[in-house]
Structure 1
Amino acid sequence: MPHQVKAVVARSKGAPVSVESINVPDPGPGEALVQVQACGVCHTDLHYREGGINDDYPFLLGHEASGVVEAVGEGVTGLEPGDFVVLNWRAVCGNCRACLRGEPWYCFSTFNATQKMTLEDGTELSPALGIGAFAEKTLVAAGQCTKVDPSARPAAVGLLGCGVMAGLGAAINTGGVTRGKSVAVIGCGGVGVAAIAGSVLAGASTVIAVDIDDRKLEGARKMGATHTVNSTSQDPVTAIQELTGGHGADVVIDAVGRPETWKQAFYARDLAGTVVLVGVPTPDMKIPDIPLIDVFGRGGALKSSWYGDCLPTRDFPLLVDLYQQGRLDLDAFVTEEIALDEVEAAFEKMHHGNVLRSVVIF
């Protein structure tokens, strides 16, 4: 029997979201029904509302979530009702060429629920990143549920489901930050600050935060940045080079995702250094005009980071354990806790840059 619940829906491009009743099916084979406890308001949800992902309206928004499994479908193993889980949007298949070569974090055939959640009139909803967690309950593939310590704060650990994991993983998994390396992070929103936290966790000796907003730079310093650069008053490439003995940083992470910030990252790294793109560009953006000889002459690596190149079953429990031990301050990412009908207002706050994460609490 379908479950009727309240949820946040984006019906058309740019229109304010609305709280509506939706129908959520009982789980079928390989699926799980999750009672959502908390869900962060991520910039990706705003991208969906604005048509920046695709135009498969109406969207069921929300994807950065934690909750409790209410029911599982036929054939599901290792997951049962009552399990506390963080939801992920890369449930690996285990059979594609990436999985078979031992790189499941690149899985090319990730799973989502087969059944569709719908509006009351039967209109099928497109769940954001295959999750749709601005809802009292949601239906996902069982592999999208990662069990973690049930005593952890839902609002904090749910953020591992997207932005925090993307930033931490960009530093540790993609960038390969280790003890003693120098790191620069361009853009100090939620993902950028998470990259700073990941760099500190990995033992980086120099962590440089770059942004245009002094409030964000102060937040980055609280998360462990050793230096800050306001790029409205300083050239970030020159500043990063000066702070690293004239060489440039070993790893530069672009958490903005614009041609100009990627170019800054390219020239701000040391010889044989690594550039990591984790900020999401829009489809119209192009790689900036950089002489090919500069690409050759600098060596190193130019990487993009998909979801922080994470493996949820490996990374989520580990990071939750570090949080519980007081070694990773996930609480610092939760700026405010809000109700379901405050999501539209949370989108507006994003434009003002005074929140890391608003988190819907159910």
Structure 2
Amino acid sequence: MQHVRGVIARAEGAPVSVETIVIPDPGPGEAVVKVQACGVCHTDLHYRQGGIGDEFPYLLGHEAAGIVESVGPGVTEVGPGDFVVLNWRAVCGRCRACLRGRPWYCFDTHNATQRMTLEDGTELSPALGIGAFADKTLVAAGQCTRVDPAAEPEVAGLLGCGVMAGLGAAVNTGGVGRGDSVAVIGCGGVGSAAVLGSRTAGATTIVAVDLDERKLAKARELGATHTVNAATTDPVAAVRDLTGGHGADVVIDAVGTPATYEQAFQARDLAGTVVLVGVPAPDARLSLPLADVFGRGGSLKSSWYGDCLPSRDFPMLIDLYLQGRLNLGAFVSETIPLDGVEDAFATMRDGDVLRSVVVL
């Protein structure tokens, strides 16, 4: 049992605080990880605002990389000293998706069994089963993926959520390939990663759509060939104009509203693919002409965590980064201390960063 610092959201909408938390020794199938860096994601803000659940207090943070400190009985996939990226979908290997050779769809992902607590014994709910705005955290060993330790922790950790979601939406879910045309609606962290993934996969036309010129500038830096400000330009007409009047082969909705999804649907080519990776509000509803759904053909897909398999995708992407072929470092807008998370939430709301990253 260890006492360390952690960032706690005690109540809906209340400012977060740095408090002492208790980390139990790892049990069967568990690992304690010394966190080196953790990105500040919109999901953490949603937890703080009560937009995901009401199981307060929450231990926030989930886009993390660090060093395995200790493991529990039966753990063989990682060991003390391993440099790992944490993930929130540890696959079970036993559900119907895993047994059919599709572990990236695992229907029974899991987290650590034991709970971390405050000093008074109050159990904490770790964000996405990780809770990495802390000096150390307890996770299921399957949530740890070994990668090349030459990568900087502040870069590697971003694969744990938003960057992987966007890259995977393009490459894994959307199947973007050489010569394809792609449109990405919404160019925050996830959308920008989808732009980067599309470029890496060989797309020749990549149209970035957003309301914020700062985000469009970053998207161009990451590989967008064209940008469209949807505040002043009809994005559907613009995407069609930029693709010979046909529409894009793949359109990625990284916002997740009925309006943006309809834009994505209308901006794709015949037999094209729409990928929804932006998380919709629970009460969002969609209305599309069923004749158009049939007549336009193609695929309408949702992307869970970029349909990634961490053991396959994380090491590969880190290798591409270290080879200079994948500009993951562009997502790190600033590094901050552990007590800077509340300020980072304000910066995030202002749209000034792709990612603030806590470095421990």
Q: Is TM more than 0.5 here?
A: yes
**Match runs of 1:163-242 below 5 Å:** 163-242=162-241
Give SS of 1:320's match.
helix
Instruction: Report the AA paired with residue 352 of structure 1.
Output: D
- Contact (CA 8 Å) 2:33, 2:67: kept in 1 or not? yes
Structure 2 residue 76 is matched with structure 1 residue 77: yes
Give SS of 1:38's match.
strand
Aligned length: 360
The corresponding residue for 1:61 is 60
1:333 to 331, 334, 337: 331
The corresponding residue for 2:340 is 342
The corresponding residue for 2:293 is 295
Cα separation, 1, equivalents of 2:289 and 2:104: 32
The corresponding residue for 2:34 is 35
The corresponding residue for 1:96 is 95
Cα separation, 2, equivalents of 1:85 and 1:145: 6
- Structure 2 unmatched ranges of 5 or more: none
The corresponding residue for 2:110 is 111
Give SS of 2:46's match.
helix
Q: How far does the alpha carbon of each residue in 1:118-147 deviate from its partner, in whole angstroms, 9 at most, with x for none?
A: 011111000001000000000000000000
The offset of 1:78, in angstroms, is 2.5
Give SS of 2:43's match.
helix
- Structure 1 unmatched ranges of 5 or more: none
| Consecutive aligned runs of 4 or more in structure 1 exceeding 4 Å deviation | none
* TM-score, length basis structure 1: 0.99
Cα separation, 2, equivalents of 1:120 and 1:292: 56
The corresponding residue for 1:273 is 272
Instruction: Report the AA paired with residue 314 of structure 2.
Output: F
The offset of 1:351, in angstroms, is 1.2
Give SS of 2:207's match.
strand
The offset of 1:284, in angstroms, is 1.2
The corresponding residue for 2:242 is 243
Give SS of 1:253's match.
strand
Cα separation, 1, equivalents of 2:220 and 2:191: 12
Q: Identity of counterpart residues, as a percentage?
A: 74
1:310 to 293, 308, 311: 308
Cα separation, 2, equivalents of 1:215 and 1:296: 37
The offset of 1:294, in angstroms, is 1.0
Instruction: Report the AA paired with residue 328 of structure 1.
Output: L
- Contact (CA 8 Å) 1:5, 1:136: kept in 2 or not? yes
Cα separation, 1, equivalents of 2:14 and 2:245: 48
Cα separation, 2, equivalents of 1:304 and 1:141: 26
- Contact (CA 8 Å) 2:89, 2:110: kept in 1 or not? yes
- Contact (CA 8 Å) 2:115, 2:123: kept in 1 or not? yes
- Contact (CA 8 Å) 1:52, 1:282: kept in 2 or not? no
The offset of 1:53, in angstroms, is 1.0
Give SS of 2:187's match.
coil
The offset of 1:111, in angstroms, is 1.6
Cα separation, 2, equivalents of 1:206 and 1:301: 20
